[in-house]
Amino acid sequence: GAVVSQHPSWVICKSGTSVKIECRSLDFQATTMFWYRQFPKQSLMLMATSNEGSKATYEQGVEKDKFLINHASLTLSTLTVTSAHPEDSSFYICSAGQFFGPGTRLTVL
Amino acid sequence: GDSVTQMEGPVTLSEEAFLTINCTYTATGYPSLFWYVQYPGEGLQLLLKATKADDKGSNKGFEATYRKETTSFHLEKGSVQVSDSAVYFCALSDFGGSNYKLTFGKGTLLTVNP
């Protein structure tokens, strides 16, 4: 079946630095991808809709200047967490179609 | 707005027991319904789905039927295995076409003991 990959699978960074997470659809094109955030033992919270060739649509309460999304091609969307802080530590998951990536665990020290 | 309500967990069963995880939804249109499974430390895997009323989704011994009259999509399995231990999420997509913007339930942790 269709596969969605994410890179990196985990990352540790210092407070104040920026981290980029990539989401790729490996064998299909996706004009729309979604980014979710999952806290420990909790459900997934939709952060934003990534639209190829146009601006992302952010959910209420999600800071667009902090979570930068770029969907430059039909197979790649990136999420950049800017000026990361410990409260940004979480599991970030992308989806394309009905398929989900394996997730990226971000730890901010 | 759209919402999904799942039964509270955790659920602990012995191997070969019958499993039911309840899921009800609220949606403005005619949503597609999904069950996803998340194994420890991993992302979500699509388990099964149904796109219209009375459809039954099934996979790996799991099944769920789209009940419009009761707005439900309960997950069932006749005989669980230890390897089924995971978190199960019910979800809906209230958009047509290929737009899979999903609303998730809170998830139900299932532990199956040998």
For A67-93, what is the HEC assignment?
Answer: EEEEEEECCEEEEEECCCCHHHCEEEE
Give me the residue label for tokens 């009940």.
Answer: B67
3-state SS, residue A43: coil
d(CA B15, CA B82): 6
B34 in contact with chain A, both atoms CB, cutoff 8 A: yes
pLDDT of residue A30: 87
Closest residue on chain B to A35 (Cα) = B101
A44 in contact with chain B, both atoms CB, cutoff 8 A: yes
What residues of B are in contact with residue A35 (Cβ under 8 Å)? none
List pLDDT tens digits, range B6-61.
988 899 999 999 999 999 999 988 899 999 999 987 888 999 999 999 999 999 99
Closest residue on chain A to B100 (Cα) = A97
Q: pLDDT grade, residue B1 (50/70/90)?
A: confident
Identify the residue among A32, A100, A107 best suited for mutation to test binding to B, counting B beta carbons within 10 A and taking the highest. Answer: A100
Q: pLDDT grade, residue B98 (50/70/90)?
A: low
Closest residue on chain B to A92 (Cα) = B43
pLDDT of residue A2: 64
d(CA B9, CA B2): 22
What residues of A are in contact with residue B98 (Cβ under 8 Å)? 32, 97
User: Does residue B101 have a pLDDT over 90?
Assistant: no
- Average per-residue pLDDT for chain A: 92
Backbone angles phi, psi at A86, to 5 degrees: -55, -35
